[in-house]
Chains A and B, each alone.
Chain A
């Protein structure tokens, strides 16, 4: 597939481009998970990682002309939505309890 760019040349992104983008988004999410202290940001980072995986699925599905990847992507989105609901509820409760959403404050179950 290809389309006509405004510059008038044909530019056709290949599978590698999608995968590279996906990897980049995944790494951004990963770093977010590792370094951020705000629970909501961490949560958002996880969403980033999930969606980067979705992108990979779609890219492969398109590349191989098969529907399996699409199905997986839908499942991931459904699970992510449910997870978002639960996670946000937890975050809200943590905020009510602690007056803050820093993950470093949640130490009680550690020891």
Chain B
């Protein structure tokens, strides 16, 4: 391979192009191609995309080796396809940026995406509209790649809208079913609400910074001369973008679309709601880490929102009976974890959890799909049970994923979840630049404020030491926030272990509770489905080994050190600025003991959750009924998802409908009736009167002419004219 320049790395374009071509071929010709060819085109496009992603990764590693750090962004590859908009100050190109953060995202999207495509070949084997399904699926991956690869916010936004559109198409794939079509619309509309905030955030950024290019914005955020410009917009712009992310990544208050989105085919749920679309919000916040860390208030909001979402969704998941619905709320809950991590400034932990979650949640969804496939479209876990022996492969992989999400050591989920929890406790995230600056500002005389604008980054540590007593005050409520977020996270981890093992035990253990006919037909899924399950099963185990807890990592031999903390090293450059803008951990330089205690607590609570599930659903199956009896009201509230859908219906949907009806009435009767109709009525009647004059009778015309002439003469005579 000839050497490619880092700013003309055309493989980036090819990563995006492959799924687009697949979508075009299948979209235009799919209905006429043999079904086998459709499969090969779709999966081939993904395979090519994955290979190009690997080549780009290799290119990035090569580039990183002799990267001179001149622009401060860390090693990155770019590729400009063409100049798109060039108007005044606004310049936006169709350009791609490939840095370590994007690399992780692209590999997850194309890798897991490829597995899901292969799985879909088996899962959708009988569907007559398979070509349409694969067209949407490829298009979706294309949009998602655009989102993560975009070099400026505009390209990201195209992808952002694209995934919204494709999720609508995929969720409502079986559009003949009115309920499913409605779920697609709900997803689209709720996402649009978030997108609107995202656009507003983009406008604020452009208005202030004059660019949407990530590299240029990053330059502004790192340069001490220009960061002062970004400081005032960090909160409003960051908040608006975060609200956009709550839509795409299903957080309070816009999470309501995700559980309904389970109406789509199950592999779609795996792709959209585990590996790709819902991670877009996390990705975007990580991409803009140098912006949002400038506002401690915003970070606190993100952390609290994430923690709340995590626990609310987890508590709902406990009582749901639809296998996909449990997983849906579990996804919302895990995404809450990621936002929690972002909120406490632990971006590496967020990306780490995003990655492992993509593995085990995709596996859970695909496993659930396999179960549904084997049970002939039965989704109620109360009618399952005993599938352990009937579907051994599905059971084994599902068990691995369940252990991973529950946070059992040696499984991927443990490492990432532990890192999130530990960081939420240890990071004194609230005390960063702005807090410090406010403190210094209060102390400095007026004439030195000018100096302050250039007193950042490197001087921050020194400045904080100077601030002394003032800083401690800020820490007090930050400490409460830390503990609150941490304990909520810990409780959620316990709930997660409980509801996942409830699902697992009810589905795979005990006696089969389905009827005779279904039971006779339960079968293991075909190889094209079991294969991806196995690959994801392996990833769900080893996926976490690139991020060991620090207190364990030091026991590994010297040669392995770069790998046991691999992700942290890999992403170090990306989050350099955010780390600079934050204080070091509360527990000092090498807090091995607190970290070990935190990990121990996480293991203990996960174990407790699993044990409780074991007692309630294996040992004493009558217990859930008894508890249900005692806590009917609580159970009802959880079963009805805290009545959030009903509340939204009352607060937003109904008023919107009323407004719509009122507008319709106004349009129908005032605009169309009175104004438009009135003009037409007048014209018509006036025309009628005038057309009576035009009788066709020449003699009458002569009379008109005469009368008119006489009138004109009279007028002239009396000097009127």
Enumerate chain A interface residues (CB-CB to B < 8 A). 30, 33-35, 42, 103-104, 107, 110-111
- Using A33-B699, A104-B697 as known contacts, list a sample of 9 further A-B pairs with CB atoms less than 8 Å apart, ordered by residue number in A: A30-B702, A33-B702, A34-B699, A34-B706, A103-B699, A107-B696, A110-B695, A110-B696, A111-B696
Chain B nearest CB, measured from A40 CB (Å): 14
What are 12 sample pairs from A and B whose C-beta atoms fall under 8 A apart?
A: A30-B706, A33-B699, A34-B699, A34-B702, A34-B703, A35-B699, A103-B698, A103-B699, A104-B697, A107-B696, A110-B695, A110-B696
What's the Cα separation between A103 and B696 when bound, in Å? Answer: 12
The secondary-structure label for the interface of chain A is helix
Shortest Cβ-Cβ A-B pairs, 3 listed = A110-B696, A34-B703, A34-B702
Chain A nearest CB, measured from B560 CB (Å): 101
Per the CB 8 Å criterion, the residue count for chain B at the interface is 8
What's the Cα separation between A34 and B702 when bound, in Å? Answer: 6
Residue on A with the closest CB to B701? A34
Per the 8 Å Cβ criterion, residues 675-697 of B in contact with A are: 695-697
Enumerate chain B interface residues (CB-CB to A < 8 A). 695-699, 702-703, 706
Chain A nearest CB, measured from B429 CB (Å): 87
Q: Which residues of A contact B695 (CB under 8 A)?
A: 110
Chain A nearest CB, measured from B698 CB (Å): 8
Q: Which residues of B contact A110 (CB under 8 A)?
A: 695-696
Chain A nearest CB, measured from B231 CB (Å): 81
What's the Cα separation between A35 and B697 when bound, in Å? Answer: 12
Q: Which residues of B contact A104 (CB under 8 A)?
A: 697
What's the Cα separation between A107 and B695 when bound, in Å? Answer: 10
Chain A nearest CB, measured from B580 CB (Å): 90
Q: Which residues of B contact A35 (CB under 8 A)?
A: 699
Chain A nearest CB, measured from B706 CB (Å): 6
Residue on A with the closest CB to B709? A30
Q: Which residues of B contact A42 (CB under 8 A)?
A: 699
What's the Cα separation between A109 and B697 when bound, in Å? Answer: 11
Chain B nearest CB, measured from A109 CB (Å): 8
Residue on A with the closest CB to B703? A34
Q: Which residues of A contact B697 (CB under 8 A)?
A: 104
Q: Which residues of A contact B703 (CB under 8 A)?
A: 34
Chain B nearest CB, measured from A90 CB (Å): 14
Chain B nearest CB, measured from A19 CB (Å): 15
What's the Cα separation between A74 and B276 when bound, in Å? Answer: 100
Q: Which residues of A contact B706 (CB under 8 A)?
A: 30, 34
Residue on B with the closest CB to A27? B706
What's the Cα separation between A111 and B699 when bound, in Å? Answer: 16
What's the Cα separation between A42 and B698 when bound, in Å? Answer: 11
Residue on B with the closest CB to A107? B696
What's the Cα separation between A33 and B703 when bound, in Å? Answer: 9
What's the Cα separation between A55 and B696 when bound, in Å? Answer: 32
Chain A nearest CB, measured from B691 CB (Å): 12
Chain A nearest CB, measured from B699 CB (Å): 5
Residue on B with the closest CB to A30? B706
What's the Cα separation between A33 and B699 when bound, in Å? Answer: 7
What's the Cα separation between A104 and B696 when bound, in Å? Answer: 10
What's the Cα separation between A54 and B698 when bound, in Å? Answer: 24
Chain A nearest CB, measured from B672 CB (Å): 33
